Amino acid sequence: MATHYDSFQLAIFCTAHCLNSDLAQLSKEMDFFQKHLNVSKVYVENHRGDTSLTLDRLRELKVFFEERGIEVAGGITPTLGEAFRPGYNRLFGGICYTEQASRDHFQAAVETAATVFDEIILDDFFFTNCCCDDCLEQKGTRSWEEFRLELMTEVSENLVMRPARAINPDVKIVIKYPNWKESYAASGYNTEKQPALFDAIYTGTETRDPAISQQHIPRYASYSLLRFFEHVRPGLNGGAWFDNLDCTYLDYYLEQANLSVFGKARELTLFCYSLLKDSVHVPALGHQLEKLDRFAGKLGEPIGVQVYEPHHAHGEDHLYDYLGMLGIPMELTPHFPTGTEMLLITENATRDEQIIERMKTYLRGGGQVVMTSGFLRKMRGKGVEEFTTLRPTGKRMDVQQFAADTESCTFATFSQAEKPITYPVLDYSTNGTWQSIVAMNGHNNIPVLMYDNYGKGKVYTLVVPDNAADLWKLPEPIVTQLRHIMTEKLLPYKVNGPANVGLFSYDNDSFVLESFDSVPRQWEVELPLGKRLVSLTGGNGLSPTYQSADGWSTYKVRLSPATLEAFQVIEA
């Protein structure tokens, strides 16, 4: 069996509790892992909560894994047990960094790791949620966000980087960011200042089963968050980290691996050793990784609709992920784009005080923008009126019928959703603002996707239903229309069909379609004259099922639940 993958490296994270067996037992457990997986690296954690491993034990474990040809790095989970800060409640053992005893204990764990390892990763508990009297006093009149962002930046410098460097000048310290992006600032995760302090960053791509998870993170986030951090520190986003917790179906576990690979993770880290050492997830993952590795190297660099996500932003949380599951590729960035491609602006972008002026410049230069109803609502009276006549009414309407594209005074197409969807009602001035998609109820219709011209550019306004997940209930023709509008300037092909699909697109005209649906569905891929479609995942040769008079050819792609196909558009 191979000892590595060609397109990514595979690592296993071992918590301080995972490795309490003798070496003979650990050897049997590693035989199981290495039978099914090409493990090239392990992270050995020296501290978590009340458990800290001795230097002798860490060195023993390091030798054990290295003798198997496995690279070894260190790990720390920044949590402390109940002996610290007694009398105050701390969620998940989060550390109070205003107490000297807690600071000293955590710093000692960092120094221990740096003594043994040349690389150390901080698990995603590197935050604070303490509200003790000392924290309240030091916070003063600042918001919790302001206080914790500043505090955790200080902790990064003084309790991690400086002590580690003093022990081991060559040590590489990696900060792993968790999967709950819009909540970072509230607990001190600072994507603006921390990444520059560390040697590398890492991305938590755990999505599991959103229907039963308290985090309710859409499955597309296994891809989108990875892409965000690639733009935070280009080339230094070390990899993707996921687990098998709350994965109702085995496919949900494998899906995290798929999307991490599609997002171009350089390394995949599996959490954790003890959860997986006798799990059915391991053989299944090994099989899936072999399949992914066969074509992952043929995918170019990811491209997608630019999504402007300023540091510390929140508002319409994970809206880009819900849209991503309509088959609209998303590329998140904390930097305002400078090109003329399609740009998505959600309520999250209101974090940027210069957002209106940036949009004016972008549009006047010929750019296209899709701004959401949440952004419009938040920016009323702050300059958004420059772009559209749309205005919130505060009313709501249940709708089930939709129409798209005007023909004279009516619409070109009509379609029906299977269930009603509740939308906010926006008023507008007709002929000043025009409709692309509307929703209908009796003798009334309301905006869903509208547009205005501005300079050389165009600004669309997307009205978001009260429940963002209801976007997946939109009729197939409406999903297709929305997908076409948002990717028209981006992709040299069109994808027609229903929601609950991921479209992962790349700059060499390759792409992947993966179904998020619970039943088999069919999509169509349309190519212009002179182009043809080839499979990157094997199988029989592809032939178009239809060719239009203007030379466009149509290929049908049928996917069962949790399956995927990879393709490339080439010259005919």
Rounded to a whole number of angstroms, the CA Rg of the chain reads: 25
Matching residue, tokens 């090239």? 40
pLDDT value at position 1? 42
Beta strand 119-122 with 71-77 is parallel
Sort 341 into a burial class: Cβ within 10 Å, 0-12 / 13-18 / 19+. Answer: middle
CATH classification number, 491-572, choose in 2.40.10, 2.60.40, 2.30.30, 1.10.3470:
2.60.40
Length of the chain as a residue count: 572
Q: Helix or strand or coil: residue 308?
A: strand
Spell out the long-range contacts of 471-474 with Cβ–Cβ below 8 A and sequence spacing 24 or more.
Answer: 471/322, 471/323, 471/325, 471/326, 471/499, 472/322, 472/325, 472/326, 472/499, 472/500, 473/417, 473/418, 473/419, 473/421, 473/499, 474/326, 474/402, 474/417, 474/421, 474/499
- Domain spans of the chain, in order of start: 9-297, 299-487, 491-572
pLDDT value at position 539? 67
The answer to whether the beta carbons of residues 149 and 97 sit under 8 Å apart is: no
Strand arrangement, sheet containing 330-333: 330-333, 305-308, 342-345, 368-372, 457-462, 444-454, 434-441, 391-407, 410-427
pLDDT value at position 527? 97
Q: CA–CA separation, 418 vs 499, rounded Å?
A: 13
* Low-confidence spans in the chain with pLDDT less than 50: 1-2
Q: Helix or strand or coil: residue 503?
A: strand
Q: Which amino acid is at 207?
A: T
Tokens of 241: 């980290």
Q: CA–CA separation, 132 vs 97, rounded Å?
A: 10
Superfamily of domain 299-487: Class I glutamine amidotransferase (GATase) domain (3.40.50.880)
Cα Dmax for the chain: 80
Q: CA–CA separation, 226 vs 259, rounded Å?
A: 9
Each residue of 206-250: pLDDT tens digit? 999 999 988 889 999 999 999 999 999 999 999 999 999 999 999
Residue from 405, 485, 474 nearest 437 by CA: 405
User: What global pTM score does this model have?
Assistant: 0.97
Strands (E), 7-166: 9-14, 41-48, 51-52, 71-77, 119-122
Residue 471 DSSP symbol: G
CATH no. for 9-297? 3.20.20.80
Q: Is the peptide bond before 272 cis (omega within 30 degrees of 0)?
A: yes
pLDDT value at position 430? 93
Question: Residue 13: how many CB atoms within 10 A of its CB?
Answer: 25
Helix residue ranges, H only, 233-318: 250-262, 273-276, 281-296
pLDDT value at position 125? 95
Each residue of 173-198: pLDDT tens digit? 999 999 999 999 999 999 999 999 99
Distances, alpha carbon 399 to alpha carbons 25, 62, 346, 425, in Å = 60, 61, 23, 11
Distances, alpha carbon 19 to alpha carbons 33, 272, 356, 489, in Å = 14, 11, 54, 52
Residue from 49, 18, 444 nearest 271 by CA: 18
Question: Residue 307: how many CB atoms within 10 A of its CB?
Answer: 26
